[in-house]
Amino acid sequence: MNQIFSITADTLDQLPAAAQAMARAMQGHSVFALQGEMGAGKTTFVNALMNHLGVTKDATGSPSFAIVNQYTLPSGDPVYHFDLYRLQTPEEVYETGFLDYTDSGHLCLIEWPDRAGSLMPDDALTITITVDPITDARTITLCRP
Total-model pTM: 0.90
Looking at residue 14, the DSSP 8-state letter turns out to be G
Query: How does pLDDT run across 48-92, given as a tens digit for each residue?
Result: 999 999 997 555 555 555 799 999 999 999 999 999 999 999 999
pLDDT given at position 25: 86
pLDDT given at position 27: 87
Mean pLDDT of all residues belonging to the chain: 90
Alpha-helical segments (H) within 1-145: 15-26, 42-53, 90-95, 98-102
Domain boundaries, the chain: 2-144
pLDDT band at 136 (very low <50, low <70, confident <90, very high): very high
Rounded to an integer, the average pLDDT of 102-122 is 97
Q: Does the domain made of 2-144 have the CATH classification 3.40.50.300?
A: yes
* Strands, sheet with 2-9, edge to edge from the N-terminal-most edge strand: 2-9, 138-144, 125-131, 31-35, 107-111, 78-83, 68-72
Residues 6+ apart with CB under 8 A from 17: 9
Question: Who wins on pLDDT, 44 or 56?
Answer: 44
Residues 6+ apart with CB under 8 A from 28: none
CA distance 75 to 62: 22
For Cα atoms 26, 30, 32, give the angle at the middle one, nearest 5 degrees.
Answer: 75
